[in-house]
Amino acid sequence: MELNGIILTFAGIVGVQIIYWLVWLIGVLRLKETALFNGKNGISVVIAANNEHENLQKNMPAILTQDYTNYEVIVVDDRSSDGSYEYLLELAKEYKHLKVLSVSELPDHLNGKKYALTLGIKTAQHDQIVLTDADCAPESKNWIGSFAASWSENTSFVLGFSQYQRKPGLLNYFIRFETLLSGIQYMAAAAIGKPYMGVGRNLSYSKTLFLSKKGFHGYQNLVGGDDDLFVNKHANGANTKLVVGPESLTTSTPKTTWKEYLHQKTRHLSVGKHYSAKSKIILFIFTLTWILTWVLLPTLFLYTHEFLLPGIVFAFRIVLMGVTFKVFSQRTGGKLGILGLILLDIMFAVYYFVTGIRALLTKRIKWK
């Protein structure tokens, strides 16, 4: 490829990135903090737990003491062997709005978490189901109230944001960056009327819709997809709302080793193979142009001193990224210092290339 061709190709690829970031920024700017509401409509919080004794001890009190008048909490213990079930039974004696279910045997060809969630949702008294994980805790006593405020007669989905705890180290910094990036994408898409996923750590959907669509039918054997695949298949601009702001935020426990984190992300990305064709194309082009940006940039430094056009478009992309992250952090309550943005930018390109290949090649993935 001739030198001018490399420059124009680089500018074109980064130009595609700029278009994406402009769309994400437009969506993020539409995010408005949710007003609090302590209404009478009932809410059922459903949690699936597999050997989560320590996390349940740490996080259940915040979930069980919400400032909301009409809600229940259903925890489904999925074949735990660490005393989780016994702890939950003792906790239920103190909190009468806690229901404890137990899975002792898993039916063939069913994923454990999906089966546990299905039992919990079928048991729920209320139509609005709020989902979170055992290793998550709400940041506010108004967490449930914020979901109630976002619900109306025509609502089937409410998407929230969930961050990870801040801890020392590069891994934690990258985890929080990648989590914010994911939040920017799916919340911005929903804000412009094109929802395509949510995260089960902070998500609400209708029991009526769940049962009418036969739950997780069609992907009940997959590890993952109880959140993003269900949203991808059934959410649209008319039936989906967002819950935004620090009151609606949940915080999760991050992985502490690269091996654990890459396994987790490989599991998440493997589910993406089952997204709608439109969603896969949009996300693939975004990620591919991101990776190619960092493949071609060193080539320019090696073969040319003509940096004006490449430098302008690349700098504009970085500025757009920084502004989008900043605005999203302010509106959702998520926190991330962006001084290391270029380092994170490079790391994401490498990370996605590696995990993307792993997700394509991995045949069998476990929940834990």
pLDDT of residue 65: 97
pLDDT of residue 367: 45
pLDDT of residue 339: 79
pLDDT tens-digit map of 74-93: 999 999 999 999 999 999 99
Residue appearing with tokens 């090696």:
302
Q: Based on the number of CB atoms within 10 Å of its own CB, is 358 exposed (0-12), middle (13-18) or buried (19 or more)?
A: middle
Q: Give 251's strand partners.
A: 137, 163
pLDDT of residue 204: 96
pLDDT of residue 304: 67
Q: Check pLDDT > 70 for residue 2.
A: no
In this prediction, what percent of the chain has a pLDDT beyond 70? Answer: 93
Residues 6+ apart with CB under 8 A from 152: 241
Q: Check pLDDT > 80 for residue 225.
A: no
Q: Are 276 and 188 in contact (CB under 8 A)?
A: no
Average pLDDT score over residue span 20-27: 97
Q: Check pLDDT > 80 for residue 220.
A: no
pLDDT of residue 336: 83
pLDDT tens-digit map of 331-356: 998 888 877 899 999 999 998 888 87
Residues 6+ apart with CB under 8 A from 284: none
Lowest mean pLDDT among 126-130, 262-266, 314-318: 262-266
Q: Check pLDDT > 50 for residue 317.
A: yes
Q: What tokens were used for 23?
A: 């769309």
pLDDT: is 273 or 78 the higher one?
Answer: 78
What one-character-per-residue DSSP string does 75-99 give? EEEES--SSHHHHHHHHHHH-TTEE
Q: H helices of the chain, where?
A: 3-29, 53-64, 84-94, 112-123, 143-149, 170-191, 207-212, 228-234, 258-271, 277-303, 308-332, 341-361
Average pLDDT score over residue span 301-313: 77
Lowest mean pLDDT among 23-37, 48-62, 228-242, 345-359: 345-359
Most trustworthy range by pLDDT among 61-75, 108-122, 296-310: 61-75
Average pLDDT score over residue span 265-288: 86
pLDDT: is 144 or 302 the higher one?
Answer: 144
Q: pTM above the 0.75 mark?
A: yes
Average pLDDT score over residue span 221-226: 72
